[in-house]
Amino acid sequence: MSDGVMIVGEVVDGGLHPTVRQLVNAAGQIGESSEVTLCLAVDGAFDGGCLEGIGVGKVVLLEHPDAGSDGIGGVYSLLTELVCEVVGRLEPTVVLVGKTDAGSVVSARLAARMGAGLASDCIDLALNSHGRVAVTRPVHGGSALAVYEFAGEGLQVVSVRPGAFEVAQSVAGTPDVERIDMSSVSASGAVPVLVETVVEESEGVPLEQADVVVSGGRGLGGPEPFDQLRELCGLLGAALGASRAACDAGWVDHNHQVGLTGKSISPTTYITVGISGASQHMAGCSSARNIVAIDKDREANIFSHARYGVVGDWAKVLPAFTAAVAELE
């Protein structure tokens, strides 16, 4: 088996899925960028313009006429075949996949086919003293983090939680690109067919890509205060988030939920208002660089994670904070 880390990336509407640049960062934890190969299943329409500055040693384009259609996005049977084929050819030591819908299916099928180990939903990666991958993943409903290491010598397949790593910055130059004609590969067995795709509606900046997120929790007491959070979001160019308690109460849609059973985010600044900082919430924002918390309970767990904290009633603190931000505009 040769050395090297392979990223299985996804292409959406001719561009890179947001997880791809996060996976590039994740790969940097366990290998030199020059040893990293990014594989993408593409059809003839893919022009490769989005690959500039991607920061990997090599890109392999798995060309298949159906790669751009719903047939690949929906059920992943063809994508699995393409990935298994290229892994067999390139023999990487580690395959990194985003834990998206497609990535969850493909990583599990790849590991089963190759007799490889699979670590899923990982939020951190490192190499152990034997050069094998050690992963960190939330366990027990997000109330603890566990570190696992791959034993033995075989292929290591790792799915990475979207949002767990920051998006890699662009670097100078374009990587070597190899195109492999995969048109002879077909999905085998009973292939399910994608019937419909429902695009999730979201207001404002998408949570997973936002540099600033403002989230509200049960402490807001109802849906109306979320309008004040939206106002602050508008001033900061931020995305609106929420705790599960606020979403379960119907104050804000579940697609705003941050946490173990919601979305993982990695903004530079995360502002929480009336959120206690339960472990399941923190599981979704552990890679936020700076947490700013507003809560009336000085013992709230959120303050043990926050860089800046204000102990007080949000109804007094938030308008003053928003007014101060507005003055800076």
Residues 6+ apart with CB under 8 A from 92: 2, 4, 5, 6, 37, 155
Residue of 230, 254, 296, 305 interacting with ligand FAD (CB under 6 A): 296
Site string for ligand FAD, 240-259 (x = CB under 6 A): ---xxxx----------xxx
Residues 6+ apart with CB under 8 A from 211: 237, 238, 267, 268, 269
Site string for ligand FAD, 200-229 (x = CB under 6 A): -----------------xxx----------
Query: For 241-261, b where at least 16 C-beta lie within 10 A, e where not — what string?
Result: bbbbbbbebebbeeebbbbbe
CA-angle at 261, arms to 283 and 275, nearest 5° = 60
Minimum distance of ligand FAD from residue 219's CB (angstroms): 2
How many whole angstroms separate alpha carbon 27 and alpha carbon 83? 18
Residue of 86, 87, 232, 278 interacting with ligand FAD (CB under 6 A): 278
Residue of 44, 65, 88, 141 interacting with ligand FAD (CB under 6 A): 141
Residue nearer to ligand FAD on the CB measure, 76 or 251: 251
Site string for ligand FAD, 70-109 (x = CB under 6 A): ----------------------------------------
Kindly state the tokens that stand for 153.
């010598």
How many whole angstroms separate alpha carbon 61 and alpha carbon 66? 13
Minimum distance of ligand FAD from residue 311's CB (angstroms): 9
Contact call for residue 305 and ligand FAD (CB under 6 A) = no
Dihedral sign for Cα atoms in the order 241, 245, 248, 251: negative
Site residues (vs ligand FAD, CB under 6 A): 141, 217-219, 243-246, 257-262, 274-276, 278, 280-281, 284, 295-297, 300, 313-315
